[in-house]
Chain A
Amino acid sequence: MSAAAARPAADPRPGWRDRRELVLVAVTAASAGAVGIVNPGFLTVENLRFVALNSVVLSIVALGQTLVIAMRGIDLSVAPLMGLSAMVCGLLAQTHGLPLWGAVGVALAIGLALGTLNGVLVAALNIPPIITTLGTYSLFGGLTFLYSDGTQVDQVPPAYAAFGNAGPLGLPVPTPVLVLLLVTAACWFALGHSRFGRAVLAVGNNAAAAYNAGLRVAVIRIQVYALSGLLACLGGLVFVCYTGSATVTTGTGDHVELQSIAVALVGGTLIAGGRANVLGTVLASLFLSTVLTALVFLQVPPIWYSAGEGLMILVAVRGGTRRAAGRA
């Protein structure tokens, strides 16, 4: 208690003053409300449900990105990985009748294998992550092209569609939302309360110091990229179930790599690593989904959408660096 009293007043407790989640909720609600005044159709239950469901895939992928950025890395290959997973699972279901549990296994296996490849390239061969994942971005996109062989997924078996849109056991909450809740809880627990997650943050804070403290930095790096790949492919599976379609540009066409980075940063994860905000990532995805849907309702030409995403990244990074500089 006396130590607390001796602390200078301006000295922030970690995480205590950071109300990023509240801000995001408020801004999202305000945006939705404002759009609702202009176009009441926006605030229908059906549309809000769409907005929420629409953010789920991005949230899942962006949680993987959050882990990577928290470790001071970056994973551009999440977009083609998501597309590859959607395409492989969708085509196997469409043409070979692969059961849903098999698709889950395929998606997770692809994600683990290719995510591990990213991790090994970064950690063992010491290639900077932006270069590595730019390379594997093309590689994985190429695999999708090869595998699709000019075809695309346009309908999935009923079990898949039900998984993507309805709730299990007649619950009113769609399964993807439950999956997201599970993934979010796991990431929150891992980053906040597990040795593994704290090690990820330690590496993001200062990899050399983490190594000197006895952490196996290379192993942690590989694990985190593997997890990012895993979540990207899980996102791809959810996507193909939810939409019933996949093409060779699924993931890359929407710039999921940029979107996932943007929502992680807007959510409060530092681009320089060392601090992550899991709930912030999910809320920022919801915010982005709200804004993108609102743009449709406001009849803004789609050509402006990616400009808006770019602006979001710049604002988020600038905000993060200003705070980093201000507390030196």
Chain B
Amino acid sequence: MSAQRDADSAMPGFYAAQGIRKSYGAIQVLKGISLDLKPGRMVTIMGENGAGKSTLFKILAGQVPPTGGTLRLAGAPVALASPSAAHARGIYLVPQEPALLPELSVAETMFVGALPTRGGPLGRRVDWAAMRARARAALDALELPIDVDRPARTLSIAQQQQVECAKALLRGCRIILFDEPTSPLTSHEVEHLFSIMRRLKADGCTLSFISHRMDEVLEISDEIAVLRDGVLVDVVARPSFDRARLLSRMVGRPLKAVPRRAASNARDEVALEVRGLSDGLRFADVGFSLRRGEVLGLAGLVGAGRTEIAETVFGVRPAAAGEVRLGGAVVTGLDCHAMIRRGLVYVPEDRARHGAVLPMTITENVTSGLLDRVRRRAGLLSARDEARISAAAVRDFRVRCAGLDQPLRELSGGNQQKVVFAKWMTTGPRVAILDEPTRGVDVGAKEDIYEMIDAMARDGMALLVISSESEELVRLCDRILSIYEGRVVAELSGADISPAAVARSYLTAAAPSGGVAA
């Protein structure tokens, strides 16, 4: 068995990861991944958000150096210093949305970095004729009817991926990785991509791809590898694929008691009602109602459209159809300033960019959202009033700091997030949308934030929480809506809520004929 593997692993095109580890600071993203990619085989990587799939691909393609472990190509260890080093070794990563060179022709984008040249009276010059002929031949070989003289900016995403495949072959790359290629494609385009993949496979290329869509995975894969929390938990080879087993492998977690929130504080009065909301692009026909004191969660894969839904409700992204009611009044189409005045706030996920002003003091940050309410003296803000509000916020939100005049930059991520919350909550909102409220927050501060959210709900605030951590939603929410590719695919409430059920609710949507009961 082992001898057989050794013999195989020396084959050209046999690409193996051995004990690959990757850490960003203290966070371990990959915890020792060993995986074999073989010529003529398609190995699919599946896994939840943050399982480490993309990181693994970036390491395999030389875009990111691993913290530990070895890559072996045809049995010999290789170190990949850059993507071009990977190309030179025959390894090519097709990104989900290929990086375009919009002003250049299709032919030139295929050859960029390796333009063919010929001698001329003025020295070596680019051989446009040879370049176009070779580009056309490479596209023809995959039966892709794309004009090589078109500017690259006129290609659709599907065509860009097709061109990338031809480009990989042109560069002599026969180990081709596809990072979630199908999610921006229509089903017809996916079929076309799969026909290209099958052709490459028949030709002996070594293939691997990432997908969330179970049907696709079962159709195209020879082996399926499941990643969970940076660990390779399962590798199954055709024909022993089993939907239920794959799903449970993806969502199954080490036994850890996940606390549920205490009894619901939901009251009868509806605070926020959304009906048939679409932005015409990323999500469609989203509807829910949120009562005072209720905590409603939005679960889903990264990129499912949850942030876009929140931004549309808040009025920073235009709605194409549908209605938003705040306390019974229609507010669709109002801008975010009007929303804030009417008692709706949105705490975005990217704190540093949208929520907090890091060089400014705690007081300045806390009061920046309600400067028109601070008492003024001769047109100037009253420092004493500002300090009073800020001191109350620091006390209520348990911000750990040296003083009110400390710059926000000096606080930990968790305490920064508390200040951001304090800023919004001092405006006295009736409805708050919290997008990834504990991203980049340490464990201790996390629990503080959870208790703050509980307290806000007890006070009658209606809360919509977006989180990619199932445990967090379980801990916080009375009800959870599961979003998949811009649509509400499931609703969980009461005793049905558990981390596995939450993850399963959208992963099952990715496998429509899966029939896996919660």
Count of residues in A whose CB is under 8 Å from the partner chain: 33
Residues of B within 8 A of A100 (CB): none
Are A211 and B83 within 8 A (Cβ)?
yes
B98 → chain A closest CB, angstroms: 8
Are A7 and B147 within 8 A (Cβ)?
yes
Are A201 and B103 within 8 A (Cβ)?
yes
Residues of B within 8 A of A209 (CB): 98-101, 112
The 5 A-B residue pairs with the shortest CB-CB distance, nearest first, are A214-B84, A209-B99, A213-B113, A205-B101, A274-B103
Residues of A within 8 A of B148 (CB): 3
Instruction: Judge if A198 is at the interface, Cβ distance under 8 Å.
Output: yes
Are B115 and A195 within 8 A (Cβ)?
yes
Residues of A within 8 A of B105 (CB): 14
Are A208 and B126 within 8 A (Cβ)?
no
Are A212 and B99 within 8 A (Cβ)?
yes
Q: Measured between alpha carbons, how far is A79 from B324 in the docked complex, in Å?
A: 56
Instruction: Judge if A210 is at the interface, Cβ distance under 8 Å.
Output: yes
0/1 string, A48-86, CB within 8 A of B gives 1: 000000000000000000000000000000000000000
Q: Measured between alpha carbons, how far is A14 from B150 in the docked complex, in Å?
A: 7
Given contacts A194-B126, A210-B101, contact A202 B113 (CB under 8 A): yes
Q: Which of A11, A194, A215 contacts B150 (CB 8 A)?
A: A11
Are A193 and B125 within 8 A (Cβ)?
yes
Q: Which among A4, A194, A195, A212 has the greatest number of chain B C-beta atoms within 10 A?
A: A212
Q: Which of B87, B103, B122, B146 contacts A14 (CB 8 A)?
A: B103
Least CB separation from B139: chain A residue:
A3
| 5 pairs, A vs B, C-beta closer than 8 Å | A3-B145, A198-B108, A202-B101, A213-B84, A274-B101
Given contacts A195-B124, A198-B126, A327-B154, contact A210 B113 (CB under 8 A): yes
Chain A interface mostly helix, strand, loop or mixed? helix
0/1 string, B288-328, CB within 8 A of A gives 1: 00000000000000000000000000000000000000000
Residues of B within 8 A of A307 (CB): none
Residues of B within 8 A of A213 (CB): 83-84, 112-114
Could you count the A-B residue pairs with CB atoms below 8 Å apart for me: how many are there?
A: 99
Are A189 and B114 within 8 A (Cβ)?
no
Q: Measured between alpha carbons, how far is A202 from B123 in the docked complex, in Å?
A: 21
Residues of A within 8 A of B108 (CB): 198
B389 → chain A closest CB, angstroms: 37
Are A13 and B84 within 8 A (Cβ)?
no
Least CB separation from B104: chain A residue:
A205
Residues of A within 8 A of B124 (CB): 194-195
Are A201 and B154 within 8 A (Cβ)?
no
A100 → chain B closest CB, angstroms: 27
Q: A194-B126, A198-B115, A328-B153 are in contact. List 19 more A-B contacts (CB 8 A).
A: A6-B145, A12-B151, A14-B104, A189-B122, A193-B125, A194-B123, A195-B124, A198-B104, A198-B126, A199-B113, A201-B103, A206-B100, A212-B84, A213-B113, A214-B84, A215-B113, A270-B103, A274-B101, A274-B104
0/1 string, B67-86, CB within 8 A of A gives 1: 00000000000000011100
B212 → chain A closest CB, angstroms: 25
A324 → chain B closest CB, angstroms: 9
Given contacts A189-B125, A215-B113, contact A202 B150 (CB under 8 A): no
A2 → chain B closest CB, angstroms: 8
A161 → chain B closest CB, angstroms: 32
Residues of B within 8 A of A202 (CB): 101, 104, 112-113
Instruction: Name A's B-contacting residues (CB within 8 A).
Output: 2-4, 6-7, 11-14, 189, 193-195, 198-199, 201-202, 204-206, 208-215, 270, 274-275, 327-328
> In residues 481-500 of chain B, which contact A (Cβ within 8 Å)?
none
Are B149 and A14 within 8 A (Cβ)?
yes
B167 → chain A closest CB, angstroms: 9
Least CB separation from A210: chain B residue:
B112
Q: Which of B103, B113, B114, B126 contacts A275 (CB 8 A)?
A: B103
A29 → chain B closest CB, angstroms: 29
Q: Measured between alpha carbons, how far is A11 from B152 in the docked complex, in Å?
A: 11
Residues of B within 8 A of A193 (CB): 125-126, 128
Least CB separation from A202: chain B residue:
B112
Residues of A within 8 A of B101 (CB): 201-202, 205-206, 209-210, 274
Residues of A within 8 A of B87 (CB): 214
Residues of A within 8 A of B128 (CB): 193
Given contacts A6-B145, A214-B82, A215-B112, contact A201 B99 (CB under 8 A): no
Q: Which of A7, A189, A211, A327 contacts B153 (CB 8 A)?
A: A327
Q: Which of B102, B125, B136, B150 contacts A205 (CB 8 A)?
A: B102
Least CB separation from A276: chain B residue:
B103
0/1 string, B331-374, CB within 8 A of A gives 1: 00000000000000000000000000000000000000000000
Q: Which of A4, A204, A327 contacts B147 (CB 8 A)?
A: A4
Instruction: Judge if B117 is at the interface, Cβ distance under 8 Å.
Output: yes
Residues of B within 8 A of A2 (CB): 145
Given contacts A212-B63, A214-B114, A215-B112, contact A3 B146 (CB under 8 A): yes
Residues of A within 8 A of B150 (CB): 7, 11, 13
Residues of B within 8 A of A3 (CB): 136, 145-148
Least CB separation from A189: chain B residue:
B122
Q: Measured between alpha carbons, how far is A327 from B123 in the docked complex, in Å?
A: 35
Q: Measured between alpha carbons, how far is A275 from B87 in the docked complex, in Å?
A: 27
Are B103 and A205 within 8 A (Cβ)?
yes
Q: Which of B117, B136, B153 contacts A195 (CB 8 A)?
A: B117
Q: Measured between alpha carbons, how far is A214 from B87 in the docked complex, in Å?
A: 8
